[in-house]
Amino acid sequence: MTTGVDVDVRGKDGIAVVRLGRPERLGAIDPATAGELTAVWRRFRMSDEVRVIVLTGSGDKAFCTGLDRSADVPQPPSPYAIDDPLIAIGPKSADLWKPVIAAVNGMACGGAFYLLGECEFIIAAEHATFFDPHTTYGMVSAYESIGMAQRMPYGEVMRMALMGTAERVGARRAYETGLVSEVVPGPELLDAALRAASVIAACPTEAVQGTVRAVWSAREAARAQALAYAPHLIALGNAAPARQAELFADRGREFRVR
């Protein structure tokens, strides 16, 4: 079984390609992989060699399907504390202000939005799909929906969050709603992301990082306030783990792509 995160630093271009592993688990993230992602972003903070990052998945089936449901995530006994294993997997969570371009190569769902919400823009393969299964499994979509609310119209975010596994947003619809900035044939995905990355990497990195920080700050206040509520809403609204497992096992296999 493959594990973790693969990093390819293309030194002369100033570009790094970060590829999520574990394709046999559809890119699901376990605690070890979460730790690797955090370490990668922290490493890039200290590297003059890397000016732009492309983030993608392995194979063509999935970019990332969120937290691996087989992972054991112990929780503190206090009702006032929740340990979220994905809270620090995004580049902004690691205080990285170098631009990150997401190249989505298949399914992106659930906890994948922790990553997508902290990328500068998204390029998607034509067969890519986006959905949020939380409500189907008796879980509150909080961090995921907050991240997507910064990128998509209110009704689109709400529909994706509430429809659960019954409906998926196709790449073309994601483009129409502003979630995705470009849609390309699957075999051209990485080249399209690298093409954009090379343009950005050729610009003075101080100006680029300052621009990323400036645009992020325009939405940061509302996002920070929303995130402060997230753990409390999750604690109040999540079904018990046994019930979640039951709902996951009984989930329908049919879905509509729009």
Q: Give the Cα separation of 181 and 196 in Å (integer).
A: 11
Q: What phi and psi values does residue 93 have, to the nearest 5 degrees?
A: -65, -25
- Please classify residue 4 by burial: count the beta carbons closer than 10 Å to its beta carbon, then call 0-12 exposed, 13-18 middle and 19+ buried: middle
pLDDT at site 3: 64
Nearest to residue 133, comparing CAs of 159, 173, 162, 170?
A: 162
Domain boundaries defined on the chain: 5-187
On whether the CB atoms of residues 64 and 178 are closer than 8 A, the answer is no
pLDDT at site 231: 87
Handedness of CA 8, 118, 113, 197 (dihedral sign): negative
- Please classify residue 88 by burial: count the beta carbons closer than 10 Å to its beta carbon, then call 0-12 exposed, 13-18 middle and 19+ buried: middle
Superfamily of segment(s) 5-187: 2-enoyl-CoA Hydratase; Chain A, domain 1 (3.90.226.10)
The tokens 């100033």 sit on which residue?
Answer: 14
The per-residue DSSP string of 4-73 comes to: SEEEEEEGGGTEEEEEE--GGGTT-B-HHHHHHHHHHHHHHHT-SS-SEEEEE-STTTEEE-SB-TTS--
pLDDT at site 2: 53
Q: From first to last of its 258 residues, what are the pLDDT tens digits of the chain? A: 456 899 999 978 999 999 999 999 999 999 999 999 999 999 999 999 999 999 999 999 999 999 998 888 888 888 777 888 999 999 999 999 999 999 999 999 999 999 999 999 999 999 999 999 999 999 999 999 999 999 999 999 999 999 999 999 999 999 999 999 999 999 999 999 999 999 999 999 999 999 999 999 988 888 888 888 898 898 889 999 899 999 988 888 889 999
pLDDT at site 71: 84
Q: What phi and psi values does residue 221 have, to the nearest 5 degrees?
A: -60, -50
pLDDT at site 1: 44
pLDDT at site 57: 97
Query: Residue 159 in 3-state DSSP?
Result: helix
